[in-house]
Amino acid sequence: MSRRLWGLFAAVWMYAAAAQELSEALFLAELPQVLTASRIATAPHEAPAPVTVLDRATIRATGLTELHDLLRLVPGFLVADWPGGSPVVVNRGLGDAHPNRLLVLLDGHSVVNPATGAVDWHDLPLRVEDIERIEVVRGPNQASYGAGAFQGVVQIFTRDQAEDTGIGLTLARGRFGFADTYARAGHSGGQVAWRLSLSQRQALNFRDRQVHAYGMHEAIERLSLLAQLAYRSGLDEEWLLSLGTSDGADWVGSTLDAGLEPYRQRRHQQVSLRLAWHNHYATGAQWSLEYSRLQRRKREAGVLSLSGLSTPVHDDLTASRDALELQHIHAWSEDLKTVWGLAIRQDRAQSQRWFHDLDTVGSTAWQTFANVDWRIRPDMLLHLGGTLEQAKRQELLLSPRLALNWTFRPGAALRMSVGHGYRTPTLLEQHAREMQRYLGVLPALQGKVIDIGLWAHDPLKPERTQFAELGHVALYPESNLRVDARVFVQRHERYIDNRSCRVGLDCPFPPPPDYGRPLGSEKAFVLYNAGDIRSKGGDLSLEWRHAHLGRLLLSHAYTRIHAGAGTDRDTEQTAPRRASSLLWSMPLPQGLQFNLGYYRLGHMRWLNDGDKQPAYTRVDVKLAKRLGGSGSEDEIALTLQNATGEHLEFRDEHTVQRQVFVTLRLSW
Kindly indicate the confidence band of residue 551, based on its pLDDT and cuts at 50, 70 and 90: very high
Nearest to 72 by CA among 623, 614, 555, 602: 555
CA dihedral 440, 444, 445, 447 (to 10 degrees): 90
Mean pLDDT of the chain: 92
State how far the alpha carbon of 653 is from the alpha carbons of 58, 207, 342, in Å.
32, 11, 46
pLDDT tens figures, 305-317: 877 778 898 899 9
* Residue 4 pLDDT greater than 70, yes or no: no
The rounded distance, in Å, linking the Cα atoms of 586 and 597 is 12
DSSP per-residue letters across 550-619: EEEEEEEEEEEEEE-TTS-GGGGGSS-SEEEEEEEEEEEGGGEEEEEEEEEE--EE--TT--EE--EEEE
pLDDT tens figures, 238-273: 999 999 999 999 999 998 888 888 999 999 999 999
State how far the alpha carbon of 37 is from the alpha carbons of 51, 418, 619, in Å.
7, 14, 31
SS3 label, residue 26? helix
The rounded distance, in Å, linking the Cα atoms of 401 and 158 is 29
According to the model, what pLDDT value does residue 519 have? 67
According to the model, what pLDDT value does residue 28 have? 40
pLDDT tens figures, 180-196: 999 999 999 889 999 99
Count of residues making up the chain: 668
According to the model, what pLDDT value does residue 579 have? 98
Kindly indicate the confidence band of residue 24, based on its pLDDT and cuts at 50, 70 and 90: very low
pLDDT tens figures, 472-530: 999 998 889 999 999 999 999 999 999 999 998 999 999 988 888 676 678 999 999 99
* Residue 356 pLDDT greater than 80, yes or no: yes
Tell me the whole-structure pTM to 2 decimals. 0.94
According to the model, what pLDDT value does residue 520 have? 63
Domain residue ranges in the chain: 3-425+460-495+530-667
Q: Which CATH class is domain 3-425+460-495+530-667?
A: mainly beta
The rounded distance, in Å, linking the Cα atoms of 294 and 319 is 8
The mean pLDDT of 219-236, rounded to a whole number, is 94
542 within 8 A of 554, measured Cβ to Cβ: yes
The mean pLDDT of 220-237, rounded to a whole number, is 94
According to the model, what pLDDT value does residue 15 have? 42
According to the model, what pLDDT value does residue 443 have? 86
According to the model, what pLDDT value does residue 213 have? 82
The rounded distance, in Å, linking the Cα atoms of 140 and 433 is 30
According to the model, what pLDDT value does residue 3 have? 55
Query: 506 burial class (0-12, 13-18, 19+ CB within 10 angstroms)?
Result: exposed
102 within 8 A of 90, measured Cβ to Cβ: yes
pLDDT tens figures, 554-571: 999 999 999 998 898 999
According to the model, what pLDDT value does residue 140 have? 97
Query: 627 burial class (0-12, 13-18, 19+ CB within 10 angstroms)?
Result: middle
pLDDT tens figures, 25-34: 433 445 579 9
According to the model, what pLDDT value does residue 605 have? 96
Task: Please state whether 497 falls in left (phi above 0), alpha (psi between -120 and 50) or beta.
Answer: beta
